[in-house]
Amino acid sequence: MLRCRTSERLHWRKRADEFGFKFHTLYDEPYWDESVYYQFTLQQIEKHIESPTEELHQMCLAVVDKVVRDEQLMRKFCIPEHHWDWIARSWKSGEKSLYSRLDLAYGGQGPAKLYENNADTPTSLYETGFWQWLWLEDKVNSGDLMRNADQFNSLQEKLVNRFLDMRHGHEGQVLHLACCKDTEEDRGTVQYLEDCANEAGIPTKFVYVEDIGQGEGDVYTDLDDQVITWMFKLYPWEFMLREEYSPMLEKAEVSWVEPPWKAILSNKALMPLLWKMFPNHPNLLASYFEEDLPGSNLKNYVKKPIFAREGANVSIHIDGVETEASPGPYGDEGFIFQEYYPLPSFGDAYTLIGSWLVDDKAAGISVREDKCKITQDLSRYVPHIIAG
């Protein structure tokens, strides 16, 4: 695993306009950075990332299967009690999921370590599935990179195939897609999924989360008063389960993507439970709930809120003393404590691997760099290749 400097494509900003990539620069700082790329060997990809990703995912699903059958754990995961049955049913009836992203600490050697599972509303999907793919095409076509350079990135292909799969059972139905207002990145992610669904022949319609209505007869409606029956929402279950329209969730009979059981899979409480069920697994970091911390011998750890986005409210503790912390509005629901395992650094950059899954299959990676040890939403996205 190498960090390589390279020249930017001459007209890449024009190319970004052409393909609707609108958030490549944020607050005058680059978010998409193609002045560098990472180079992996095929063995690193297959042995250290691809197969552990699928194994970790199966372990996480095993946790979900345990939690839905255990009221105490449902409480631990802060799932509101009146939704327990509904969520358990969505799991037991095998409702299909679309995608998720495991965040891994990996620097080229040794086992990758799982930081967390973004299973409900992962972003940087477009940059991964399409934009870095296009970057490689362009770089190879211009002779900048060798023709045999590859990329671990079958994300778009797998998304389209997954939508094809989901189409059966939703024949003739419109898939509504939703995200919140005023977020270019989320809107771009949803537009991308809409493109993938259309490619699979599914008719789609967009509605903002805030514009969803309650129709008579306990249904959800869009702005044209059409009943929503099948919906992708880029909005976390942990929020939805607590909002005004949540009591209707059970009656409305919407087929949700991601399905309700993702409320468990995307929860940080997953981490201590994984450690309990699969202790000392090479791809796991020791993790504990607050009450188990004293007996754990964990001195260097990261404290993370059970619900949080983009690295907010995370703090690093060395010998029990807080050394670094990120601000944020989260933490009311409690925290988990995870063994301190710093991100590998390449030069002045800390590097985080996002490993994607579609339909239980590893589907590619995204690489993000940050100047801080806690990756937040202002980290840079850099492309990668496989060579050798």
Partner 1 sequence: MKRTKSINLERMRKVSKYSPVKPLTLVVAASSLVACGDSREAAIYSNVEHCSQDNPSLTQECKAAYQDALAKSSKSGPKYTSKSSCVEEFGENNCTVYHASNGNNWFMPAMAGFMFSQVIGRNHYDSAPLYTSYSRRSPVYGQWSTVDGDLYGKRKYGNVRVGNNAFKSKPAVVKTMSRGGFGSTVSAKSSWGGSSSKSGWGG
Considering only residues 144 through 163, tell me which ones interact with partner 1, judged by CB under 8 A. Answer: 150-157
CA 375 to each of CA 42, 103, 311: distance values in angstroms, whole numbers, following the listed order: 26, 10, 6
Among 1, 23, 36, 252, binds partner 1 (CB under 8 A): 23
The letter for the amino acid at 42 is L
Among left, alpha and beta (phi > 0; psi -120 to 50; other), residue 256 is beta
The DSSP letter of residue 343 is P
Which of 18, 360 has the CB closer to partner 1?
18
Which of 198, 296 has the CB closer to partner 1?
198
Q: Are strands 29-30 and 380-382 parallel, antiparallel or unpaired?
A: unpaired
122 is written with which tokens?
Answer: 């992962």
Which of 95, 310 has the CB closer to partner 1?
310
Nearest distance from C-beta of residue 292 to partner 1, angstroms: 25
Ranges within 282-321 binding partner 1 (CB under 8 A): 309-310
Cβ–Cβ < 8 Å for 101, 158: no
Among 30, 108, 111, 215, binds partner 1 (CB under 8 A): 215
Ranges within 97-116 binding partner 1 (CB under 8 A): 101, 116
Which of 92, 371 has the CB closer to partner 1?
371
d(CA 225, CA 213): 8
Cβ neighbors of 233 (< 8 A, separation 6 or more) are: 177, 178, 179, 209, 240, 256, 257, 258
Cβ–Cβ < 8 Å for 111, 48: yes
Nearest distance from C-beta of residue 284 to partner 1, angstroms: 19
Among 111, 236, 334, 344, binds partner 1 (CB under 8 A): 236
Site size for partner 1, by CB under 8 A?
Answer: 87
Ranges within 43-102 binding partner 1 (CB under 8 A): 45, 101
Nearest distance from C-beta of residue 226 to partner 1, angstroms: 4
Sign of CA dihedral 99, 101, 102, 106: positive
Cβ–Cβ < 8 Å for 311, 370: no
| 244 binds partner 1, rule: CB under 8 A | yes
Q: Does residue 204 sit in helix, strand or coil?
A: strand
| 331 binds partner 1, rule: CB under 8 A | no
Which of 90, 298 has the CB closer to partner 1?
90
Stretch that binds partner 1, among 81-89, 282-290, 296-304, 325-333 (CB under 8 A): 325-333
d(CA 58, CA 317): 30
Which of 298, 358 has the CB closer to partner 1?
358
Residue with tokens 């290749």: 385
Which of 248, 293 has the CB closer to partner 1?
248
Nearest distance from C-beta of residue 198 to partner 1, angstroms: 7
Stretch that binds partner 1, among 71-79, 121-129, 294-302, 340-348 (CB under 8 A): 121-129
Nearest distance from C-beta of residue 124 to partner 1, angstroms: 8
| CA count, 13 A, side-chain hemisphere, 53 | 31
Which of 172, 295 has the CB closer to partner 1?
172
Nearest distance from C-beta of residue 258 to partner 1, angstroms: 12
Ranges within 347-386 binding partner 1 (CB under 8 A): 364, 377, 386
Ranges within 179-198 binding partner 1 (CB under 8 A): 179-187, 189, 191, 194-195, 198
Which of 112, 212 has the CB closer to partner 1?
212
Q: Does residue 285 sit in helix, strand or coil?
A: coil
d(CA 327, CA 372): 13
Strands, E, within 111-221: which ranges? 113-118, 175-178, 204-206, 213-215, 219-221
303 sits in which H/E element: strand 301-305
